[in-house]
C-alpha cells in the first residue's frame, strides 16, 4: 500500500520506534493521527512535521475512555491504515509480578489492540483499500525467560493477526505483523540493557527499524522479523523448540541475575520498573 496521500492512525507515536515511524510516514506523504499519552512529545512531533500532517491524539489505550476518544478522532478523519506500535514492557521473573501488573500488561498489549481493531475496522473499511499493522516482537514467536507475560501478550497479538488475515482474505483489508528485534529505545530499562549486553544481543537504532517497517508496510509484507539470527531462532523455535529450550536453559542464570527485583517507579503512572539486582 502506497503511503502517499493516506491517513494513518499510529499508536505509540510518542515512543522510540513510533516517533521514528511517524517521521517515515510523514516523509512518504501520509497524514498521521499520532496517538500516545504524552501530550508534550506528540506536540513536538507535530511541530517537526509540515503543518497539519501530524495530528496529536492524547489517549490512554488501556482505558475505555482513551479508546473511545481515539475512535471519535478516527471517525472525524478518513484513515485507511491503523498501525499499533504502542506497548508496555515487563522484564522480571514471573512470580515477582503482581496481579495488577499482569492485568495492566495484557490490557495494554493485547486487549487494547483487539478492542481498537473491533472499533476501527468499520471506519478503515470505508476506504477502497485498508491495512492494519501490528508491531510485534521476536518474543511473539519465541517465549523468553524473564519476559513471560510480555511474550504471552505478543504471541496473542501474532495469533490475532494471523487469524484476522485469514478471516479477511477475500476483503480489501490486509493484516501485517512486523517484528523488530531489540531496539535502542526507552522501552528497555537499565536491567534489559545490561542483559542484552551480557548476552551479546544485537540492537538496532529506531530510525533504521522505522525505515524497514515503512518499507514492509508499502510492500504489504504479511510477516516480517527484523534481524537474521532472530529470524532463524524464531523459525527453529517453530519446528524444533527443544533445541531452543536447551540454548535458553544455559542463559537462565544470567536472566535471573539481571531480572532482579521490581520496584515502584513514581514517574511511570504506577507501572512497575525493574532494577538490576546487585551482582551475586
Ligand atoms: N524497543 C525494543 O527493543 C523493541 C523490540 C521489539 C519490539 N518492540 C515493540 O515495538 C513497539 C514500540 O516500542 P518502543 O521501543 O518504541 O517503546 P517505547 O519507546 O517505550 O514507546 C512505547 C509507546 O507506547 C505508548 N504506550 C504505552 N502504554 C500506553 C497506553 N496505555 N496508552 C497509550 N499509549 C501507550 C507510549 O506512550 P507514552 O510514552 O506517551 O505514554 C509510547 O508511545 C512496541 O510494540 C514494542 O513491543 C520494541
Q: What is the pLDDT of residues 108-145, one digit of tens each?
A: 999 999 999 999 999 999 999 999 999 999 999 999 99
Nearest-CA residue for atom 21 of ligand 1: 15
Per the CB < 8 A criterion, the answer to whether 133 and 158 are in contact is no
CA distance 53 to 51: 6
CA distance 256 to 238: 25
Q: Is 256 left (phi over 0), alpha (psi -120 to 50) or beta?
A: alpha
CA distance 18 to 34: 9
135 CA → ligand 1 middle, Å: 9
Nearest-CA residue for atom 26 of ligand 1: 86
pLDDT (0 to 100) of residue 142: 96
C-beta 225 within 6 A of ligand 1:
no
Say how far residue 192 (Cα) sits from the centre of its chain.
17
DSSP code for 61: T
**What is each CA distance from 76 to 11, 29, 70, 157, 192, in whole angstroms?**
17, 20, 10, 27, 40
C-beta 183 within 6 A of ligand 1:
yes
Nearest-CA residue for atom 8 of ligand 1: 137
Distant-in-sequence, close-in-space partners of 189: CB < 8 Å, separation ≥ 6? 89, 91, 273, 274, 275
Domain spans in the chain, listed from the N-terminal domain onward:
7-275
C-beta 137 within 6 A of ligand 1:
yes
| SS3 assignment, position 32 | strand
C-beta 49 within 6 A of ligand 1:
no
Per the CB < 8 A criterion, the answer to whether 1 and 129 are in contact is yes
What length does the chain have?
280
87 CA → ligand 1 middle, Å: 4
Q: How many CA atoms lie within 13 A of 96 on its CB side?
A: 18
Per the CB < 8 A criterion, the answer to whether 151 and 240 are in contact is no
Q: Which atom of ligand 1 is nearest to the CA of 269?
A: 41
pLDDT by position in tens, the chain (length 280): 899 999 999 999 999 999 999 999 999 999 999 999 999 999 999 999 999 999 999 999 999 999 999 999 999 999 999 999 999 999 999 999 999 999 999 999 999 999 999 999 999 999 999 999 999 999 999 999 999 999 999 999 999 999 999 999 999 999 999 999 999 999 999 999 999 999 999 999 999 999 999 999 999 999 999 999 999 999 999 999 999 999 999 999 999 999 984 433 333 333 333 333 222 2
Calculated CA dihedral for residues 258, 259, 262, 263, nearest 10 degrees: 20
Nearest-CA residue for atom 46 of ligand 1: 87
pLDDT (0 to 100) of residue 1: 82
Could you read off the pLDDT of 135-170 as tens digits, one per residue?
999 999 999 999 999 999 999 999 999 999 999 999
Per the CB < 8 A criterion, the answer to whether 141 and 162 are in contact is no
Pure H helices in the chain: 16-27, 39-48, 64-75, 99-106, 112-124, 148-167, 190-198, 206-219, 228-239, 241-259
C-beta 25 within 6 A of ligand 1:
no
Tell me which of 9, 10, 11, 12 to substitute to probe ligand 1's pocket, judged by most ligand atoms within 8 Å of the beta carbon: 12
User: Element (H or E) spanning 226, and its range?
Assistant: none
Q: Is 29 left (phi over 0), alpha (psi -120 to 50) or beta?
A: left
Fold of 7-275: Rossmann fold (3.40.50)
187 CA → ligand 1 middle, Å: 6
Measured from the Cβ of residue 111, the count of other Cβ atoms closer than 10 Å reads 17
C-alpha cell at 119: 472499533
Amino acid at each position: 500500500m502506497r503511503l502517499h496521500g493516506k491517513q494513518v492512525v499510529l499508536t505509540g507515536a510518542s515512543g522510540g520506534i513510533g516517533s521514528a515511524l511517524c517521521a517515515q510516514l510523514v516523509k512518504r506523504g501520509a497524514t498521521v493521527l499520532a496517538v500516545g499519552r504524552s501530550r508534550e512529545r506528540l506536540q513536538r512531533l507535530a511541530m517537526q512535521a509540515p503543518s497539519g500532517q501530524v495530528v496529536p491524539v492524547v489517549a490512554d489505550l488501556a482505558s475505555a475512555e482513551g479508546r473511545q476518544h481515539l475512535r471519535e478522532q478516527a471517525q472525524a478523519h478518513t484513515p485507511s491504515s491503523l498501525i499499533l506500535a504502542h506497548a508496555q514492557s515487563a522484564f522480571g521473573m514471573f512470580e515477582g509480578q503482581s496481579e495488577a501488573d499482569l492485568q495492566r500488561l495484557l490490557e495494554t498489549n493485547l486487549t487494547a489492540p483487539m478492542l481498537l481493531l473491533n472499533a476501527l475496522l468499520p471506519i478503515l473499511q470505508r476506504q477502497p483499500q485498508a491495512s492494519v499493522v501490528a508491531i510485534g516482537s521476536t518474543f511473539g514467536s519465541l517465549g523468553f525467560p524473564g519476559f513471560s507475560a510480555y511474550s504471552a501478550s505478543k504471541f496473542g497479538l501474532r495469533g490475532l493477526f494471523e487469524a484476522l488475515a485469514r478471516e479477511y482474505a477475500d476483503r480489501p483489508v490486509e493484516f501485517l505483523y512486523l517484528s523488530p528485534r531489540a531496539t535502542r529505545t526507552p522501552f528497555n530499562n537499565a536491567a534489559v540493557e545490561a542483559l542484552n549486553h551480557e548476552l551479546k544481543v544485537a540492537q538496532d537504532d529506531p530510525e533504521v527499524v522505522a525505515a524497514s517497517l515503512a518499507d514492509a508496510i508499502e510492500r504489504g509484507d504479511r510477516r516480517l522479523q527484523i534481524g537474521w539470527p532472530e529470524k532463524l531462532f524464531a523459525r527453529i523455535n517453530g519446528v524444533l523448540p527443544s533445541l531452543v529450550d536447551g540454548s535458553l536453559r544455559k542463559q537462565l542464570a544470567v536472566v535471573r541475575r539481571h531480572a532482579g527485583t521490581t520496584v515502584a517507579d513514581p514517574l511511570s503512572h504506577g507501572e512497575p520498573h525493574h532494577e538490576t539486582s546487585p551482582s551475586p
